[in-house]
Amino acid sequence: MRTATERRYGGLRIVEPIALPLDEHLFDDGASLADALAKAVAADLRGAIARRGSARIALSGGSTPRAFLTALSKQTVDWPHVTVLPVDDRWVHPRHERSNEKLMRETLLQGAAAAARFMPLYRPSPSPEAALLPVLSRVANEALPLDVVVLGMGEDGHVASLFPDLGRDSPGLREIGLQPSGRAPALAVRTANAPEPRMTLTLSAIFTAPSLYLHIEGAKKKAVLEGAAADPTSLLPVRAVLAGAPRPPSLYWCP
């Protein structure tokens, strides 16, 4: 029985096992998951600060992480030494209801955690493409290497703003977004799967973090994830995460 398959990113040849491992943590409900994930992430941040004097964390937005972000805000961390950035953001004003920056300011950046340094991906520019160079420079110079990343996942198997149709109009974007290393740390994205343009970190940036978490809730998302983990021909972005991550992500999930 074949136990490995090959994937190519341009000249890079990735040999990956057929069924990809998952470091799985199952919880009864979102509240107990949020508390456990907040404690684990806070410990990672304290460890990075102890080793290097500072910590950098990239967090996903959307609807799932609200309870986790609020729980993380309450953890004991030396927040002035922490840089927080979104894994991705919608290209909307930071006061817009769909802004991930707005979500993080309302949940995580409260109380003592408000002292953390926040690095937005959104800038007052007409498009993410027009803002890409300054975002690339700031992420590369001030956010990398990351210490912790918490990814969510859509029911279509997207992570960050790396959607299944990435590269449909411009094939090179798929390689930039999903190649495990050696590519630009951020990308401007337009997709049929979301109502607004996006700015997103790429896997090259995401995989700089030694602590990588995948936070999903619901049986449907779990089925999508397991399907991608088991199918070496899957083109879902979450498969590229499982196949390319330097170590299996820690899956925190509840039905």
Ligand X SMILES: O=C(O)[C@H](O)[C@@H](O)[C@H](O)[C@H](O)COP(=O)(O)O
Query: Nearest-CB residue to ligand X?
Result: 152
Q: Which is nearer to ligand X, 45 or 159 (CB)?
A: 159
Q: Which of residues 87-146 bind ligand X (CB under 6 A)?
A: 87-88, 100
Of positions 18, 24, 46, 62, contacts ligand X by CB under 6 A = 62
Helix residue ranges per DSSP H, the chain: 30-52, 66-73, 100-107, 128-142, 172-178, 203-206, 219-230, 237-244
Q: Which is nearer to ligand X, 101 or 232 (CB)?
A: 101
Which range in 19-27, 60-68, 139-147, 223-231 contacts ligand X by CB under 6 A?
A: 60-68
Of positions 30, 120, 128, 152, contacts ligand X by CB under 6 A = 152
Q: Which is nearer to ligand X, 152 or 180 (CB)?
A: 152
Alpha carbons 126 and 71: distance in angstroms, whole number: 34
Which range in 32-40, 61-69, 166-174, 205-213 contacts ligand X by CB under 6 A?
A: 61-69
The distance of closest approach from Cβ of residue 153 to ligand X in the complex, given in angstroms and rounded to an integer, is 6
Question: What does residue 162 show for φ and ψ, rounded to 5 degrees?
Answer: -95, 95
Which range in 19-27, 54-62, 76-84, 169-177 contacts ligand X by CB under 6 A?
A: 54-62
Residues near 171 by beta carbon (within 8 Å), at least 6 away in sequence:
none
The answer to the question of residue 197 lying near ligand X (CB under 6 A) is no
- The neighbour count for residue 123, using CB atoms within 10 Å, is 16
Q: Which is nearer to ligand X, 77 or 87 (CB)?
A: 87
Q: Which is nearer to ligand X, 52 or 220 (CB)?
A: 220
The answer to the question of residue 60 lying near ligand X (CB under 6 A) is yes
Q: Which of residues 8-37 bind ligand X (CB under 6 A)?
A: none
Alpha carbons 105 and 45: distance in angstroms, whole number: 19
The answer to the question of residue 159 lying near ligand X (CB under 6 A) is yes
The distance of closest approach from Cβ of residue 162 to ligand X in the complex, given in angstroms and rounded to an integer, is 8
| 3 three-class SS | coil
Long-range contacts from 108-115, C-beta under 8 angstroms, 24+ separation: 108/59, 108/69, 108/70, 108/72, 108/73, 108/84, 109/73, 109/84, 110/70, 110/73, 111/73, 111/74, 112/73, 112/77, 112/79, 113/72, 113/73, 113/74, 113/75, 113/77, 113/79, 114/79, 115/79, 115/80
- What residues line the site for ligand X (CB under 6 A)? 60-64, 87-88, 100, 152-154, 159-160
